[in-house]
A = this chain, B = another copy of it.
């Protein structure tokens, strides 16, 4: 078997043919999170396509490239990770605001609780969700259901305003 080849121009693997189509860099990751991170970078988890109301061409091509219209739920719903928490809603006193029994509420403590915002308050150790209404120097907590009465915030003991509800997650 004699030698083949010799000097050749243009030989070799071309740049940009890697798995991601872009350069990579080694980053030090705590071992318990390596699985999560690898799934994220390799299988484009967390990046789910978002469609409007017309059926788009090629809909719903499963693993194609969704350069546009891709949505990460965490980034979308949690703006300030360190100031955000979830609360499970109970009862139907806020049904008019689209909050149902058992819904998951996304609460941002870094937002200012201004007039008209839906807020989480604690009254005597119990968390509740109501709409904040400030008028004539007084503050009211208004249920969004005619079966429930407004609450005079000043009359309550042991109250605290915990944050503003930004999103409601309802399971079907």
| A residues neighboring B (CB under 8 Å) | 20, 22-34, 36-41, 43-46, 48-55, 59-60, 62-63, 71-75, 77-78, 81-88, 90, 97-98, 100, 104, 109, 117-118, 122, 125-127, 162, 165-172
Contact = CB atoms under 8 A, between A and B. Distances in A.
A21 to B, nearest CB: 8
A26 B28 contact: yes
Given A82-B62, A166-B171, A29 B41 contact: yes
Given A46-B81, A162-B60, A171-B167, A125 B25 contact: no
Q: Taking chain A's interface residues, is the majority helix, strand, or loop, or is none over half, making it mixed?
A: mixed
Nearest to A163: B60
How many identical chains are in the complex?
Answer: 2
A128 to B, nearest CB: 8
27 contacts: A23-B31, A25-B28, A25-B29, A26-B27, A27-B27, A29-B41, A37-B41, A44-B81, A48-B81, A48-B84, A48-B85, A50-B86, A51-B87, A52-B127, A53-B87, A53-B126, A55-B122, A60-B162, A63-B82, A73-B74, A98-B98, A98-B170, A117-B172, A167-B171, A168-B169, A168-B171, A168-B172
